């Protein structure tokens, strides 16, 4: 196991590789990158032994965010096989956490499911309400929804991230520059039109963004009310990290004094660790170009 610790007595950030030796070309962590990460954040690459050890060897209450149900079941199975108590662990997913946070002082929003979105996108196209016609943009609702989902995953429709993506598009060679710009504009236009038409949250990702903004707006108070007994948080089972998950953790790290762990999968972990700091390098996580 390779463990590199960066920081001083008051500010420590760890990068831990568990059961997965770093390749010869990447045997050290870029110190300048690690210093840009939020305090109290620990990144792991490899298996989940560290998570099981934390849960069974300390008295802290840990909330584990596992987006995929299979990973939640696997954690429970490993604890049973090790004959370890599950009292110190709660397993859930980011969407459920968002609902819990939004329910603290208001009624949590309902969310459009994929079928609802496809139906509304079809109506938008039929009514010509939004100008998304382009040779590059698919004509079918499923194709348009796929584009919207990809741009949402990459940018969260955050103004700064969209600006970066648009700059990248402008730097591509023709006709890729214009084609990419058309895709970005189509995704943004459809998202904005859906938000105008639907009283519900457009997607589960939008619910997570709303919860992220709520954490910041209450300076962490809504988190403390929703999870008063939790004093450690982990995100596990991720081979890629949607910006909505990072922004949720960003808001928690900025307002709640609590250790946060991200467990990356071995296959993509090294790549993500070297780039995760840029995902945290924005102001006002959860903000969107459409307003609140």
Q: What is the DSSP letter of 87?
A: T
Distance, CA of 31 to CA of 28 (rounded, Å): 8
- The helix/strand/coil state of 203 is coil
Q: What is the pLDDT of residue 16?
A: 40
Closest of 184, 177, 173 to residue 144, by C-alpha:
184
Q: What is the pLDDT of residue 240?
A: 82
What is the overall mean pLDDT for the chain? Answer: 82
Instruction: For 131-186, write each residue's pLDDT tens digit.
Output: 677 888 888 999 999 999 999 999 999 999 999 999 999 999 999 999 999 999 99
State phi, psi for 186 to the nearest 5 degrees: -65, -45
- Domain boundaries, given as residue ranges, for the chain: 2-105+230-280, 114-199
**Which helix (H) or strand (E) segment is 290 a member of?**
none
pLDDT at 26 > cutoff 50 = no
pLDDT at 18 > cutoff 70 = no
Closest of 157, 147, 146 to residue 243, by C-alpha:
157
Q: Span 106-119, mean pLDDT?
A: 89
Report CA Rg, the chain: 20
Q: What is the pLDDT of residue 130?
A: 62
Domain 2-105+230-280, second-level architecture: 3-Layer(aba) Sandwich (3.40)
Contact 100, 213 (CB under 8 A): no
The H-assigned helical ranges of 111-242 are 114-127, 141-155, 159-170, 176-197, 204-217, 221-226
């Amino acid at each position: 196991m390779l463990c590199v610790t960066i920081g001083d007595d008051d500010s420590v950030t760890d990068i831990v590789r568990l059961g997965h030796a770093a390749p010869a070309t990447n045997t050290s962590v870029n110190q300048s990158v690690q210093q840009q990460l939020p305090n109290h954040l620990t990144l792991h690459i490899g298996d989940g032994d560290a998570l099981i050890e934390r849960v069974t060897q300390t008295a802290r209450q840990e909330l584990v965010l596992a987006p995929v149900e299979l990973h939640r079941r696997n954690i429970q199975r490993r604890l049973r096989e090790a004959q370890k108590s599950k009292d110190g662990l709660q397993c859930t997913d980011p969407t459920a956490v968002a609902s819990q946070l939004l329910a603290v002082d208001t009624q949590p929003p309902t969310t459009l499911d994929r079928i609802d979105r496809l139906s509304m996108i079809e109506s938008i196209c039929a009514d010509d309400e939004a100008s998304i016609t382009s040779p590059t943009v698919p004509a079918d609702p499923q194709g348009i929804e796929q584009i919207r989902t990809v741009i949402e995953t990459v940018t969260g429709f955050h103004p700064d991230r969209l600006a970066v993506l648009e700059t990248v598009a402008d730097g591509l060679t023709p006709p890729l520059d214009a084609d990419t710009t058309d895709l970005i504009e189509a995704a943004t236009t459809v998202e904005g039109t859906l938000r105008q038409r639907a009283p519900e949250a457009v997607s589960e990702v939008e619910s997570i963004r709303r919860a992220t903004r709520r954490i910041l707006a209450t300076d962490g108070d809504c988190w403390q009310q929703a999870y008063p007994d939790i004093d450690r948080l982990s995100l596990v089972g991720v081979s890629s990290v949607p910006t909505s998950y990072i922004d949720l953790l960003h808001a928690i790290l900025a307002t709640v004094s609590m250790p946060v762990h991200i467990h990356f999968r071995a296959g993509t972990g090294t790549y993500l660790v070297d780039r995760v700091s840029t995902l945290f390098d924005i102001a006002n996580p959860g903000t969107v170009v459409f307003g609140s």
